Each structure stands twice: as structure tokens, then as C-alpha cells.
Amino acid sequence: MPHVTFTVPDTVWPARLPRALVVPDTTLWFNLEVSARRYPAKAAYRFFGRELSYADLHRQAEALAGWLQARGVQRGDRVLLFLQNCPQFVVAFYAVQRADAVVVPVNPMNRADEFGHYITDPGARVAITSADLAGIVAEANGRLPEAQRLQHLLVTRLADALPQQIAPEETPTPALLDWLRADPPLPACTATLTRWAQALGAGLRPTPPQAQPDDLALLPYTSGTTGLPKGCMHSHRTLMPNAVGGGLWGQASAESVSLGVVPMFHITGMMYGVLGPVYLGSTVVLLPRWDRELAGRLISRHRVTHWTCIPTMIIDLFGSPHYRSFDLSSLRYLSGGGAAMPQAVAERLQAEFGLNFAEGYGLTETAAPSHGNPPERAKLQCLGIPLFGVDSRIIDPDTLREQPVGEAGEIVTHGPMVFKGYWGHPEASKAAFIQIDGKPFFRTGDLGRRDEEGYFFITDRLKRMINASGYKVWPSEVELLLFKCPHVQDACIIGTLDAYRGESVKAVVVLREAARGRVAEQDIIDWAREHMAAYKVPRVVEFVDALPKSGAGKVMWRALQERERAGQ
């Protein structure tokens, strides 16, 4: 049975858009050079009222690139970026690009037990972090053999980016403000510590840029069904299509103002908060942590036009007793993914603000979106249509034959934004692709269907994964961490339904003999909070005498998952 390429009908594809893009044959650093030349005095980022102009972003990135090269960073070297959303994140990102190196963004929610993997797996020797997170880096680094350790640690303070006085409309909660202004002492560390201001003030100049479009630029990590997280290899060329196409799809331009609250370490926040805006020369209003009251005031004050978010943020914003006082009239494009938008919330958006929520779909492997809903013709609880130059099919995961319209199967994708493979895992890279019509298609592991108009809908997952408010939790990774708990003999992680988060993490635990009768469920949760990122921490713990296992001794997690769903 031959494969037939399905083309989205002209009645669906926006008439204003080309079917495919002519993507610049340049690097991410060149994007900043162009915008800094075009809009030197324009605000690239606003952080609690303080502006970072394109000229200053360019100047600071050049200075920091010189510092990185003086510390031995060479073309292709990996540099860790362990920061919340802040101007320094963007400066550091483009400094690494200017140094011809590779950014490895790390979730700032990670603990020391998790962080060591991000040092050893990419072979990083330099990390950039903030004072409040430096202790985690130092602890993880100290546990490693000397040959694998970081050699240099650059530390900034979020307070360094704050204005001397914050306007009342932009003032965060007291707790958030205290965190922003904190200046904890730097920890003892096996790496050489340098303060941000010292690095920028060193007056070091980088050598002329050498990076080419096919060079590795970004190594974001994603977990899988087994083992530890794997780095997704993205070049300048695989990142450029969505940096360019995102603006076209959402009708953005240099005049656009976006709210940057999706974490920048995440591929979605990276694309819509770091790469796309700099390519366009637009302005981003940064928010390091979600705060619904502050978000509403920032949208109102800065006349935000574009907001990429997750549906739980919209739900939370509507839950504010002050939401009717927020002026959201400037918003022109509201998009997101990670979880389905509830129909009732989407209808409120349309009825009260005249806004359509354009859901999209993508993975770390596809540099964020491979599919998106046209804002002028969006469907609810829908992944959208394949983006510029993307060929996406639905196949039977066993026979690999293409499924007809309406039939469920695995979503596979071929496109210019698909990654080059997993860092250091050639076998996993090979297994991630299949050949169809002479082209490599990435196997997403998601089950979906396609309707007669070419819109894709997700139905289930082949991969074992929990989606908690858009954060992807991989049970095998949580289990590996939980086995370090001195009370745990055996454990299986499954998903449990959550009215707000969509799904939450549940741990089915067999206690060690000595812990039985004296260790409570909350004790396991408390231990987990100290040793893993907050979104991975089990919200529910169930003690059992034994886990169901197959004849081969493997835990039958699917049986536990099905029992949980049946009970709910």
C-alpha cells in the first residue's frame, strides 16, 4: 500500500501565509547582530520596569563571550545555563552563541541529585547560574570525580537586573520580591566562581565568529521511557524555521510586545522568549515566576499583544478576583500547548475578550511546534495542522502503515525543525526515526488521528509519560530518584487525574521492612521535595505490600495505571 502525502486544503491553510519558508542561511547570533543594528535603542526585554535595549544586549553578550573564550570555551563546547527567566538568561544564551559554543538549558527546579547528570552527560566545563541556585551546582559538582567536574561557575543575581525603584503596577508579592532581591553568600565550590559583573567588566573581546548554520547550537534535555534524560541536538538550521515561522503564524512583528512567562529553559519558552523575539526585533516583558495578579497588570501596563502560555495560566488568571479590572484589550494572539484548553474557558475568552486560543503541538525534538491552529480558524482540544514545510502522518505503530482519515495511530513528523538525534545515544537516535517515501520521519510516541481537513488530534501516548500542567514527567526518571530514598524498597510511578493540573504524579511504594508502620505517605512526599524538581514530586503516595510483576520480573506499570484510571 503506497503512502499518500496529505496536503492541508486551501480552505484551511491561511491565505496570508506561504506553504513553506525560505529560512535564512545564518546563525542565531547573526539574528541579534541584525536587530541590534536595526533597533539599537529599542527595548529587547523589560524586567519589572527596567529595559535592556538591543544595543546593550549585544554589547553584554559580546563581553561575556570574550570571558567564556578566555576560560577555554571553544567552538562546539557545551555551556550549562541554569537560570530562571531574567535578562541575564538571554545575555548568557547569546554570549554562548557568540563564542561558537552550545547552550545546555537546565530546569532551575532541579536539585543536586538531578543536576550532576547535566554536567557529566554533555561534558560541560562551564555553567552560568544565579546566586540562589549556585549551591545546587556546587553540591552536584562536588560529588563528581575530578575529571568530570565543572571548572568554572559564573554567578549572577536577579537583583542586578532590577530597577532602583519598581513602579506599583509592576511590584510583585512580598515573597517574590524578597527572592528577587536576595543575595545569598556564594557556596564553597570545586569550580572557580566568578561574579557576573566581574566577567562583564573584564573587557575581554571574543575572536571573530566561526559557527555555521549546521553547527550544534542548543542541547535541551528530554526524558524517555527508560534511563536518564537525553540531549536533543539542535543546530542553528533546525532552530531557525520556528524562530522565523512563529512570527508569521502569529502575525507578530518588531512592534509586537509579548509576555515571557513560560520558562526559557523549556523549548517553548526558548522559542517564544529568546529566539523568535530577537529575530523579529520585538519586545518581551519578562516574568520569572507565574503570578496571576502581576501578569494581569503587566499585560495592561505594557499593552502586551502576544502571549504564549499553558491553559492553566489562563484558568488561574480567570480565577483572580481582579481579572475584570485587567485591560486585556491589547492582546491579539493567544497561543499555547502542553495541555488541552477546556472548552468552557475558551468560550469565556471569546465571549469576554474576543480572543481565540490557538493550541499547538510539538516536542523538544521538534524545537517546539510542528503543528499549530491557524488563529483565524482554530479548533478546540486540537493540535492544529502541520506548519510550514512539515509532512506529518498517522501510522500504525506496529505495521508502520499509514492510517486513513479518522483512524488512530502514531504521529510521525518530517520537517525542517526536527532535531538531529540524541547526544551520545546513536541507537536511541536510530530508533527515533523511520523512513517513509525516502524521508526520515520522527516517531513522536504520541497517538493521534487526523480529520478530513488535515487537523490533528491527540488520543493517547505510546510513551510512558505524565503531563502535569504542561510539564512532562517521565516515570522512570522519578523512580530512579525515589529509589535513593532510605525508606523505599520498590516503587512505580503512574499518573492520577487532577482537576486543575490535568494529571499529577502518584507513587505506588513498597516500604523497606524497617520503615513499615513508622513512615507515613507524607514522609515520602517530603523526602521527594528535597531531592527532585517540584513538578516531579508525587502528589499522592500509596503503600502496597508488593508491586505486580511479569514473569520476567518487570513491574507491570500499565496494570497499576489502568487500575488508577478505573478507580477515578
Assign residue 266 the CATH number of its domain: 3.40.50.12780
Compute the average pLDDT of residues 40-64. Answer: 98
Contact predicate 287/295, CB 8 Å: yes
**pLDDT confidence bin for 459, thresholds 50/70/90:** confident
pLDDT of amino acid 340: 72
Task: State yes or no: pLDDT of 138 exceeds 50.
Answer: yes
Overall pTM surpassing 0.85 (yes/no): yes
Identify the band that residue 215 occupies on the pLDDT scale cut at 50, 70 and 90: very high
Closest among 436, 359, 358, 432 to 393, alpha carbons compared? 436
pLDDT above 80 for 342: no
DSSP 304-347: --EEEE-HHHHHHHHTSTTGGGS--TT--EEEE-SSPPPHHHHH
Domain of residue 511, CATH code: 3.30.300.30
Q: Which of 325-339, 471-485, 551-565 is least confident?
A: 551-565
In terms of domains, do 187 and 327 share one? yes
DSSP 8-state secondary structure symbol assigned to residue 460: E
**CA gap 460, 479 in Å, rounded:** 22
Strands 43-47 and 50-53, how do they pair? antiparallel
Reply yes or no on whether the pLDDT at 108 is more than 90: yes
Q: Is residue 9 part of a domain?
A: no
Same domain flag for 59 and 201: yes
Least confident range from 169-178, 363-372, 536-545, 547-556: namely: 547-556
Please give the average per-residue pLDDT across 218-224, as a whole number: 89
- Amino acid at site 56: D
Of the listed ranges 51-55, 144-148, 221-225, 427-431, the one predicted with least confidence: 221-225
Q: Which of 336, 356, 379 is the last residue of a domain?
A: 336
**Contact (CB, 8 A) for 62 and 302:** no
User: Which residue among 315, 336, 357 closes a domain?
Assistant: 336
Distance from CA of residue 472 to its chain's centroid? 9
Within-domain flag for 354: no
Element (H, E) at 540: strand 540-543
- 3-state per-residue secondary structure call for 12-50: CCCCCCCCCCCCCCCCHHHHHHHHHHHCCCCEEEEECCE
- Please give the grid coordinates belonging to residue 517: 508502620
In this prediction, residue 390 carries a pLDDT of 97
Kindly tell me if the per-residue pLDDT of 462 is higher than 80: no
Residue 61 within any structural domain of the chain = yes
Answer with the one of 336, 364, 389 that is the final residue of a domain.
336
Query: Is 360 a member of any domain?
Result: no
Are 325 and 471 in a shared domain? no
| Residue pLDDT, tens place only, 251-295 | 999 999 999 999 999 999 999 999 999 999 999 999 999 999 999
Average pLDDT over residues 220-248: 92
At 228 the pLDDT is 87
* pLDDT at residue 214, rounded to an integer: 98
Q: How large a percentage of the chain has pLDDT more than 70? A: 97
Report if residue 13 sits inside a domain. no
Confidence grade of residue 321 (pLDDT, cut at 50, 70, 90): confident
Please compute the mean of the pLDDT values over residues 529-547 and round it to a whole number: 94
Number of domain units in the chain? 2
Q: Confidence band (pLDDT; 50, 70, 90) for 1?
A: very low
What mean pLDDT value characterizes the chain? Answer: 93
Range of the domain at 249: 28-336
| pLDDT number for residue 320 | 86
pLDDT at 513 over 90: no
Q: Model confidence at 467, in pLDDT bands (50, 70, 90)?
A: confident
Assigned domain for 488 exists: yes
Is the pLDDT reported for residue 2 higher than 50?
no
In a domain, 159, yes or no: yes
Report the pLDDT averaged over residues 75-91.
98
Neighbours of 227 (CB within 10 A): 13
- Say if 454 falls within a structural domain: no
